[in-house]
Amino acid sequence: MDPYHETYQGPTEAEPELNEIPIAVMVELEKKYRNGANWFYWIAGLSALSGILILIGSSFISAITLGSIELIVVLGKDFPALATVAGIAGVVIIGIFALMGYLSNKGFGWAYIIGIILFFLDTLLLLWFQDFFGLAFHGLVLYYLITGVAAFYKLKKLLPRS
C-alpha cells in the first residue's frame, strides 16, 4: 500500500508463528525423556548386580532388584534342578529391560509403555513379598519412567511431523 495514502497505518509487523516452541522447553522435555528411558538400563544393570549378590549370600539386595529376579534366583538356589532354567529366565528378564531402554531411547513409545507396564507388574510382586523398601524404590523409578514417557509424548506432539 502507498505510504502517502490516507488509510496507511505504517509497516505491518510479522505475526509470530503460532507453533513456535521455546528451545528451552524442548531441551527440558528431551532431557526428561532420555533420563526416563535410561532408567531401563539402570533396572537391568542393578538387577543383574543384585542377582549376583543374592547368589553369594548378601542381604543388601531388596531395593535394587526386580522382584522377579529375586524370586528366580532364590528358586534356582533352593531347587538346583531349576538352576539352569532360572539363570536363563533371569538373563531374559534383564535383557528385556535393556531392550526396552534401547528402543525407548530410539523413539519407540510402545517400548516405553511396555517397559513401564512390566516394571509396574514387578512392583506388584514386591508388594506381594511385602518388601516395602524395594517398593519405595520401585515407586521412585516408576515416577521417573512415567515422567519420561509423558515428556516423550509432549515432545512428539510439539515437533513438526516430517
Segment 65-118, tens digit of pLDDT? 888 988 888 888 889 898 899 889 999 999 999 999 999 999 999 999 999 999
**Amino acid 1: pLDDT:** 52
The whole-number average pLDDT for the span 137-145 is 95
The whole-number average pLDDT for the span 139-146 is 96
CA distances from 13 to 9, 123, 140 (A): 11, 56, 49
Cα–Cα nearest to 122, from 77, 99, 90: 90
**Amino acid 62: pLDDT:** 60
Q: Kindly state the DSSP code that residue 10 receives in the 8-state scheme.
A: -
| Alpha-carbon span 112 to 117, nearest angstrom | 9
For 52-71, the DSSP string reads HHHHTT-STTGGGS-HHHHH
Write out pLDDT tens, residues 11-49. 666 554 545 678 888 899 999 999 999 999 999 999 898
